[in-house]
Amino acid sequence: MKLVLILAGWLFALTVQASSIMQGEDGYRLWLKYDPIDNADVQQAYRQHAANWFVAGNSATTQVIKDELDFALKGLLGEASATDAESAGLIVAAGDNATVYRQKLKIETADLGDEGYLIQQVRWQNKPRLVVLANTDVGALYGTFHLLRLMQTQQNLENVALRSAPKTQLRVLNHWDNLDRHVERGYAGQSIWDWHKLPDYRYQRYFDYARANASVGINGTVLNNVNADPLILTSQYLDKVKALADIFRPYGIKVYLSVKFSSPQLIGGLKSSDPLDKKVQAWWKNKADEIYQAIPDFGGFLVKANSEGQPGPGDFGRTHAQGANMLAQALAPHGGVVMWRAFVYANEKNEERSKQAYSEFKPLDGKFDDNVLVQVKNGPIDFQPREPVNALFGATPQTPLMMEFQITMEYLGFSTHFVYLGPMYEEVLKTDTFAKGKGSTVASVIDGELYDYPITGMAGVANIGTDRNWTGHIMLQSNWYVFGRMAWNPSISSATVADEWVRMTLSNDNEVVTKVKDMMMASHEATVNYMTPLGLHHIMGAGHHYGPAPWVDSLGRADWNSVYYHQANSKGIGFDRSPSGVNAVEQYFSPLKEEYANPATTPEKYLLWFHHLPWEYNVASSGRTLWSEIVHRYYQGANTVKEMANTWDSLEGKIDPWQFHQVQMAMTIQQKEAIWWRNACVLYFQQFAELPIPEGLEKPEQSLEYYQSLSFPHAPGQG
Ligand code: GCV
């Protein structure tokens, strides 16, 4: 028997990795692979349109378009070349270069704004042509990438006529990258910014990063961690920042910096950083002038102030608005903006953590300068696997709120768990805040529709690093991708985005598309179930946030401990944020506040977020007791991961072997860790419930003491 097992193991190892040399797709090319179109008819049809192409103009951006088309069309079609406007089947033109087409074809582009485009099949000089028209070269670049996406996903281009313009203005990645290249909450290697070698050494990766961002409409990047190093504002580092800004400019990407509020003291030699001190104001003004001298299109500042030990205006008895406005006034003459974070909470406030952002910022509505946005995390605590939306959304008619999503997987299993975040982003964006009655969705707040915000934006905390595949896990590239697509259009469906991403990144084969898309769409719910079902939250390992640790109870602040969040005891479990508890529900608009106040009307996914309920509470959707439902969800989550892994295995041979193998290895880890989460949490909560694991469910193989004894001092990404 033992011999059979050894042989089987050996054979398994052989099939998984048949050779010591693995050739194939390592993931570097992301979704911009441009492999030959594998359907001869489709390829032939595209050749007629795009084998000869013409891009009007000679700007740095039109050069980028030409390079991309040359590379992409040769890849997709086998042969393709640039030609003149008369002979071209595909014409890309913007601004004045597009006037002739606009006029003769009677096409209006005014509504496309500075970044929009149209793609249309037209007759021009008696020949059918495909045109990509825009008002600016950057708009034409976005249109070009859209056209390439249509081709990569093998869409029918006959009679195509589409127009697209972004619904938000600032679509920015936030890199939590330190100057020593450590990435806070980064799980894909080091920072891609090699500060030591900048400004002279310009990696190809910088250009490919810009291409990838532009392909999904991302138009800004905050290069450094919000826990900012003041050195970033020294001339030594600004030279390096300028080098990156110069690389990104042709791709429509502006550079922003996170700044430390106490920089005037730390690097400016001043005695204070008080925003009302004239010397401090002058220091920031001079600093802004210096930056714009080098980088005329610099985007602005991102600020984490008076939060988790960071300095801020509160240190001088000033408000967030006073702090933000001082910076805004330094940037305003140059057209820059301030993105001021609302992620603030402090023990001393004596107010429950989830309520603090609202309490602090709601009274400041209308007090910020015109070039300030308040950047709000999607949930009121901190990027948990699932949270209700932050009550601030909709609550500030006079202050533009900007969404902050996390793309990196701090609380979602780092870079070994396959979790497509599209459904989570969609759930948040579609949530109705009822701020101005029914239909006041978070998306309509963010895109400015609800209150006519003069500036709008969405930020995503990047999951990018030096790993060859950029994100540590090929499937997690989809989260960078979906962030960009949803920032462009907060109403797009996550399923649509998943479909196009799979086709571009993995395969156009129907079986692959259907199966992988299904896995993606199920993945977030599965992870919520095996980590924090029914509204549980913040029960992960202390500090690094890796793995389950609902038992954490000894950290310096109450609201850093798991036990504070789940409140499990012999009577029940959950955080009472209803009127009988801390009354966080009062911050929401009606009817949400009434709905969330009552367990019977609270969506089950938020049940234990808002309520402390007895173990025998009846969960309506299943009829099970709360204890039984919690346990079932943990098991269901782990089972879904197992099913996902089986589905993935069934695709062997249909996906590039190296892509296949990479994901398969990660799924092995995810399966183990889902069971680890399940077992540790069920055993831990069982101590309080004093009830058995329901019949038919396998028993955890280890004891609670075993799970509690595990420690991970070197887990990656720590702050
Ligand atoms: C950059 C959480 C993370 C911190 C992060 C912070 C923030 O607390 O654990 O690493 O700091 O959020 O968003 O500022």
User: Amino acid letter at 87?
Assistant: S
Alpha carbon distances (Å) from 235 to 201, 222, 336, 380: 18, 18, 19, 37
Closest-CA residue, ligand 1 atom 10, reads 719
Paired sense of beta strands 624-625 and 618-619, if any:
antiparallel
Residue 600, classified by CB atoms within 10 Å of its CB into exposed (0-12), middle (13-18) or buried (19+), is exposed
Domains of the chain: residue spans and CATH: 40-164 (3.30.379.10), 170-505 (3.20.20.80), 529-575+612-709 (3.90.1330.10)
The closest-lying atom of ligand 1 relative to the alpha carbon of residue 227 is 1
Q: Considering only CA atoms, give the Rg of the chain.
A: 26
- Tell me how far the alpha carbon of residue 240 lies from the centroid of ligand 1, in angstroms: 25
Dihedral of the alpha carbons of 663, 471, 309, 255, in degrees to the nearest 10? -160
- Answer positive or negative: Cα dihedral of 638, 642, 647, 652: positive
The closest-lying atom of ligand 1 relative to the alpha carbon of residue 310 is 14
Encode pLDDT of 483-526 as tens digits. Answer: 999 999 999 999 999 999 999 999 999 999 999 999 999 999 99
Q: 588, 219, 543: which is closest to 435 by C-alpha?
A: 588
Contact 77, 43 (CB under 8 A): yes
Ligand 1, residues 185, 378, 540, 565: which to mutate, most atoms within 8 A of Cβ? 185
User: Amino acid letter at 679?
Assistant: N
- Answer positive or negative: Cα dihedral of 174, 178, 179, 181: negative
Question: 117: Cβ below 6 Å to ligand 1?
Answer: no
Q: What is the pLDDT of residue 17?
A: 53
Q: What is the pLDDT of residue 631?
A: 98
Tokens 């600032």 found at = 170
Q: Is pLDDT at 670 greater than 90 in this prediction?
A: yes
Q: What is the pLDDT of residue 20?
A: 76
Question: 541: Cβ below 6 Å to ligand 1?
Answer: no
Encode pLDDT of 420-429 as tens digits. Answer: 999 999 999 9
Q: What is the pLDDT of residue 19?
A: 66
Q: What is the pLDDT of residue 3?
A: 43
Question: 185: Cβ below 6 Å to ligand 1?
Answer: yes
* pLDDT bracket for residue 272 (50, 70, 90): very high
Closest-CA residue, ligand 1 atom 13, reads 343
Q: What is the pLDDT of residue 299?
A: 99
Q: What is the pLDDT of residue 232?
A: 98
Closest-CA residue, ligand 1 atom 2, reads 382
Any bridge partners for residue 361, and if so which? none
Question: 177: Cβ below 6 Å to ligand 1?
Answer: no
Query: What ranges make up the beta strands (E) of 233-315?
Result: 254-258, 300-303
Q: Please enumerate in sequence order all residues whose Cβ is within 8 A of that of 291, keeping only pairs 6 or more positions apart, or say none.
A: 233, 238, 241, 257, 298
Encode pLDDT of 302-347 as tens digits. Answer: 999 999 999 999 999 999 999 999 999 999 999 999 999 999 988 7
Q: Is pLDDT at 13 greater than 70 in this prediction?
A: no
Contact 553, 571 (CB under 8 A): no
Q: Is pLDDT at 281 greater than 70 in this prediction?
A: yes
CA–CA dist 680, 171 (Å, integer) = 39
- Tell me how far the alpha carbon of residue 106 lies from the centroid of ligand 1, in angstroms: 51
- Tell me how far the alpha carbon of residue 685 lies from the centroid of ligand 1, in angstroms: 27
Q: Is pLDDT at 209 greater than 80 in this prediction?
A: yes
CA–CA dist 429, 425 (Å, integer) = 6
Contact 504, 496 (CB under 8 A): no
- pLDDT (mean) for 375-389: 98
- pLDDT (mean) for 549-576: 96
Q: Which residues are catalytic?
A: 308, 382, 410
Contact 152, 501 (CB under 8 A): no
Ligand 1, residues 182, 187, 339, 382: which to mutate, most atoms within 8 A of Cβ? 382
Q: Convert 367-411 into a string of H (helix), E (strand) and C (coil).
A: CCCCCEEEEEECCCCCCCCCCCCCCCCCCCCCCCEEEEEECCCCC
User: Amino acid letter at 326?
Assistant: M
Give the phi and the psi of residue 134 in degrees, each rounded to 5.
-155, 170
Q: What is the pLDDT of residue 18?
A: 54
Q: Is pLDDT at 443 greater than 60 in this prediction?
A: yes
Question: 226: Cβ below 6 Å to ligand 1?
Answer: yes
Q: Is pLDDT at 15 greater than 90 in this prediction?
A: no
Cα 106 off chain centre by? 39
- Tell me how far the alpha carbon of residue 167 lies from the centroid of ligand 1, in angstroms: 28
Contact 613, 607 (CB under 8 A): yes
CA–CA dist 330, 619 (Å, integer) = 55
Encode pLDDT of 601-647 as tens digits. Answer: 999 999 999 999 999 999 999 999 999 999 999 999 999 999 999 99
Q: Is pLDDT at 16 greater than 70 in this prediction?
A: no
Encode pLDDT of 114-148 as tens digits. Answer: 999 999 999 999 999 999 999 999 999 999 999 99
Closest-CA residue, ligand 1 atom 4, reads 719
- pLDDT (mean) for 650-657: 97
Q: Is pLDDT at 4 greater than 60 in this prediction?
A: no
Closest-CA residue, ligand 1 atom 12, reads 382
Contact 249, 297 (CB under 8 A): yes
Question: 579: Cβ below 6 Å to ligand 1?
Answer: no
The closest-lying atom of ligand 1 relative to the alpha carbon of residue 176 is 1
Q: What is the pLDDT of residue 205?
A: 98
CA–CA dist 598, 580 (Å, integer) = 10
Question: 382: Cβ below 6 Å to ligand 1?
Answer: yes
Q: Is pLDDT at 557 greater than 90 in this prediction?
A: no
Question: 249: Cβ below 6 Å to ligand 1?
Answer: no
CA–CA dist 495, 520 (Å, integer) = 9
The mean predicted confidence, pLDDT, of the chain is 96
For residue 199, cis peptide bond before it (omega within 30 degrees of 0) = yes
Q: What is the pLDDT of residue 229?
A: 98
Q: Is pLDDT at 373 greater than 50 in this prediction?
A: yes
Ligand 1, residues 175, 306, 308: which to mutate, most atoms within 8 A of Cβ? 308
